[in-house]
Amino acid sequence: MVMTETKVEQERVILVGVILQTTENSDMSMEELASLAQTAGAKVLNSYVQKREKYDSKTFIGSGKLEEIRLMIDADAIDTVIVNNRLTPRQNANLEAILGVKVIDRMQLILDIFAMRARSHEGKLQVHLAQLKYMLPRLVGQGIMLSRQAGGIGSRGPGESQLELNRRSIRHQISDIERQLAIVEKNRQTIRERRVQSDTFKIGLIGYTNAGKSTIMNVLTDDGQYEANELFATLDATTKQIYIQNQFRATLTDTVGFIQDLPTELVAAFKSTLEESRYVDLLLHVVDASDPNHSEQEKVVLAILKDLEMLDIPRLVIYNKMDQADHLTATAFPNVRLSAKDPESRLLLRRIISDHIRDLYQPFTLKVHQEKAYKLYDLNKIALLDPYHFEEEVEEISGYINPKHKWRLEEFYD
């Protein structure tokens, strides 16, 4: 029997955006919407932008632009219209009725991608919860989106058949998922407390989506963390152990990438995931130096860090993808510039991180007798020691240690 491969047709979409006088970074936002649509598996055929003083309360965009879009839909067999703003349930229903195709907004598109990317049980629960909360007010009067059984972008996750259930059923599902997540969060909190109380130095990877965080993690750990040139390639927080210098160990946590206008449902749903970086000793903020909008992306990350009350955590900015960058104006200090694909980047990163740890730690000097030299192995695990060689009975050892661990030096005293 000959097996034939079924080719999945790409969903044909057009993008729509409205720019108000108060709108910032509109070009970046529309470019990002196109990338999001492509990440979701769509084929973007065209993009429409309209400048207005305010959004149309009924259809979001003006009647003239709406007719232009409708003609485009008929001419190019468009399947879906994606709007680069958050639509009200009424606007969504009116647009579908007028255009005759599925209409989703930026928020639903991001939720859809998160549904594609979630791998862990907790991640899937969080996405499911966010989608249900987003769709709940849209269950009444929702047109084509809920009436037809076709799949496609915007219908991943809980599924249309579940979303067609009545409000009481949806609320019951929300309560059930929140109960499950509370149990998961309690277990996560226990693990987190153990990690916080440990002697291990903790590093968190943060940055705009597709900045190269997973690539940096692979460079430092020699592990196979999933990495790809796409948005939200990594969703679930991953923590691994790395060696910075000799036996000095640290944990490195990779988290979900940030993005502007992240749906409020997802900010709340993934707060526990983002908080994995709240209890670290050092944040590595990865920036895609090759992206012309990298300065704006940095501001988005800093704004989210401010919301999470994490601006007081020491931060080292890594300007990544320098091999593809035409020009870079560094806006953050301290920083390091590199390409994670460069074989030299691993040594450079470890050196920069160890230098940064020395700045955070307290210097010390002590005299160690040869009979106590074996204790230096354990000291190496929590302190960065300068090179030493025992050529005399007593050797002077210097290094850097966390002030709260300085008591560990007492065992070397006579």
Residue 147 annotated as binding? no
* Residue/partner pairs of 294-302 with CB below 8 Å, 24 or more apart: 294/208, 294/319, 294/328, 295/329, 295/331, 296/25, 296/28, 296/260, 297/208, 297/211, 297/260, 298/208, 298/331, 298/332, 300/208, 300/258, 300/259, 300/260, 301/206, 301/207, 301/208, 301/258
398 assigned to a ligand binding site = no
Q: Which amino acid is at 319?
A: Y
Annotated binding residue at 64? no
CA atoms of 409 and 396, how far apart (whole Å):
13
Does 85 carry a binding-site annotation? no
Q: Is 213 annotated as a binding residue?
A: yes
Would you say 151 is a known binding-site residue? no
Bond prior to 387 in cis (omega within 30° of 0): no
Q: Which alpha helices (DSSP H) does 280-409 contain, by range?
A: 294-307, 345-360, 376-382
321 marked as part of a ligand binding site: yes
Map residue 231 onto helix, strand or coil: coil
Please check if 322 is assigned to a binding site: yes
Query: Do 33 and 17 meet the contact criterion of CB atoms below 8 Å apart?
Result: yes
Q: Is 234 annotated in some ligand binding site? A: yes
* 402 annotated as belonging to a binding site for a ligand: no
- Residue 207 among known ligand-binding residues: yes
- Asked if residue 208 belongs to a known ligand binding site, the reply is yes
Could you give the C-alpha distances from 109 to 13, 35, 82, in angstroms and in order? 12, 11, 8
92 is in an annotated binding site: no
Q: Is 289 annotated as a binding residue?
A: no
Query: Does the annotation place 40 within a ligand binding site?
Result: no
Is 211 annotated as ligand-binding? yes
Q: Which residues are annotated as a binding site?
A: 207-214, 232-236, 254-257, 320-323, 339-341
Q: Which residues are annotated as a binding site for Mg(2+)?
A: 214, 234
Q: Which residues are annotated as a binding site for GTP?
A: 207-214, 232-236, 254-257, 320-323, 339-341
